[in-house]
Structure 1
């Protein structure tokens, strides 16, 4: 039996389980941030701190994503502003905490992907409180209040695992050893997230019910549009700006959907959130494709 081929199908099995077992898994979705933080920890613990730094290409990619998102928002708002808002939030979302870990599993430049995660999370703490009132949300919430709430989430999901990883590296270095966690551990942690992420997405769509079903489907559909654009944009841009392709693709396409889903639910129209739920599902199909391609090539 070819175990490597079976491993390539594992993500599809976990996605199927997440969709079918959503009633069982969705109540436990609160564990997700901790699993994702663990993935970032194991990805960063192998790296020297100097390898994770802001680069000029980070700013270029961020400006490009925000510009495309703003342009599509203005275009789509001519039809429905709430659906346009959903699409824009898919572009505003920072790079996923797990982007560096996934890049590591696919043999890419972990430093670039993790650096982009840090940059985009820092920027959203400033941009989100400024942009949300412009697109119909966050009215009445002081800038510093909203910014500090976002910053606390970022500290828990990004800053804490990175600091812990560097502390472990420092302590082990003092004893003349190097931390070398097995890549397979990160891979199975990622697979476990699929069950909870898809379960939460299916639960959210189920809770919305049959009201405004066409708008609900439209919001879910813009997640696919945003996902397709950003994953493929990263792949196309990488050789043109001198960045390793896997890192660029994952940095642009893989998103911290938990953060923007919270923003949508807390400050925007309910129709904005299904787009993020859709992005959760679609990005995991993209990740499954690239992961299977990596492990079967």
Structure 2
């Protein structure tokens, strides 16, 4: 029975993607539950992180520079050939760290505290940079003003990232018993993200089915998204080696907030660009599923090796 449960855990993310794809006509109607799943998932994760561990390091500022500077560089490199693909690359890179990144980072053995620190910095950096940059590359009706956009983005960031963090710190300070109970429910955070992923994938597939964009355009947008996703994971991991935080830096730069990314594309850029953000969501979670599978294999090999040494010594 235990082996069946462990096998199901190994395939949770791929199963979520498959179920979301197959069930898109129905699951898309449950999108109103997404904020609640994300809030609960982050609350459980933050309950394990002491406030003293939230601090910004040089690595975090390098990651932010790569996130913002990389988006600008990608746009100017690709725009001479195709503006639509340039905008897609820009939004895929500048999108802030995903709300589930702390959960995946913890399961991979990285530092959830360091990831959370960067997530706060990343979301605030995007809230300032996007209203400045996007109207310059795509002027038009999307230009709703810096202050209006800043507060709109902040309204989306606060309840999903900042509020659960504040509540977790409150529980740690004033209700330590409840905080301890919640901190012991970390598996729930992972499964809440899996359910949220099913719903987001369903919404993505639904938009692809009903979007009027040509098939070739959608394929190019998907290729741009997958390339941007893979490159960011790679660069993040390479930077993290210098700070002994390879896993954390890779997830911080590679795992994106797709929901916010879709909103930015719809508000400032060509709406079709949101297809690229959706494709990035799928590709980054396929990569996460592979990473989790490899991590579990390594744990199993380590456990078997330890058991074998114990038998020999016994």
Given the two structures, how large is their TM-score scaled by the length of structure 1?
0.93
Is 1:75 aligned with 2:52? no
Computed over aligned residues only, the root mean square deviation of the Cα atoms, in angstroms, reads 1.8
SS in 1 for 2:180: coil
Farther-moved stretch of structure 1 (129-138 vs 116-125): 129-138
Q: Distance in 2 between matches of 1:194 and 1:154?
A: 18
Query: Partner residue of 2:122?
Result: 120
Query: Partner residue of 2:227?
Result: 225
Taking a change above 3 Å as real, the CA distance of residues 131 and 176 of structure 1, as seen in their structure-2 partners, is closer
Residue 10 of structure 1: how far off its partner (Å)? 2.5
Is 1:46 aligned with 2:18? no
1:64-103 residue pairs with structure 2 within 5 A? 64-103=66-105
Query: Partner residue of 1:194?
Result: 197
Query: Partner residue of 1:5?
Result: 7
Query: Partner residue of 1:141?
Result: 144
Is 1:262 aligned with 2:263? yes
Taking a change above 3 Å as real, the CA distance of residues 176 and 159 of structure 1, as seen in their structure-2 partners, is closer
8 Å CA contact retained: 1:25, 1:195: yes
Q: Distance in 1 between matches of 2:92 and 2:226?
A: 10
Q: Distance in 1 between matches of 2:197 and 2:148?
A: 32
1:59-102 CA distances to partner (integer Å, 9 max, x unpaired)?
Answer: 11111232232222112111211221011101110111211122
Q: Distance in 2 between matches of 1:288 and 1:122?
A: 28
- Structure 2: state its 5+ residue gaps: 299-314
Query: Partner residue of 1:166?
Result: 169
Q: Distance in 1 between matches of 2:224 and 2:268?
A: 19
Residue 250 of structure 1: how far off its partner (Å)? 1.0
Given the two structures, how large is their TM-score scaled by the length of structure 2?
0.88
Q: Distance in 1 between matches of 2:229 and 2:32?
A: 24
Taking a change above 3 Å as real, the CA distance of residues 16 and 176 of structure 1, as seen in their structure-2 partners, is closer
Is 1:14 aligned with 2:16? yes
Q: Distance in 2 between matches of 1:53 and 1:23?
A: 43
1:173-192 residue pairs with structure 2 within 5 A? 173=176, 178-179=180-181, 180-192=183-195
Q: Distance in 2 between matches of 1:254 and 1:280?
A: 8
- 1:107 equivalent among 85, 106, 109: 109
Larger-gyration structure (1/2): 2
Q: Distance in 2 between matches of 1:148 and 1:267?
A: 15
Taking a change above 3 Å as real, the CA distance of residues 79 and 66 of structure 1, as seen in their structure-2 partners, is same
Q: Distance in 1 between matches of 2:99 and 2:282?
A: 17
Query: Partner residue of 2:239?
Result: 237
Residue 31 of structure 1: how far off its partner (Å)? 1.8
Q: Distance in 1 between matches of 2:105 and 2:232?
A: 16
SS in 2 for 1:178: helix
Q: Distance in 2 between matches of 1:278 and 1:71?
A: 21
8 Å CA contact retained: 1:83, 1:271: no
1:98-126 CA distances to partner (integer Å, 9 max, x unpaired)?
Answer: 11122122221111100110001111111
Q: Distance in 1 between matches of 2:78 and 2:272?
A: 14
Q: May I ask how many residue pairs the two structures share in their alignment? A: 294
Residue 139 of structure 1: how far off its partner (Å)? 4.7
8 Å CA contact retained: 1:105, 1:183: no
Could you list the structure 1 runs, at least 4 aligned residues long, displaced by more than 3 angstroms after superposition: 137-140, 175-179
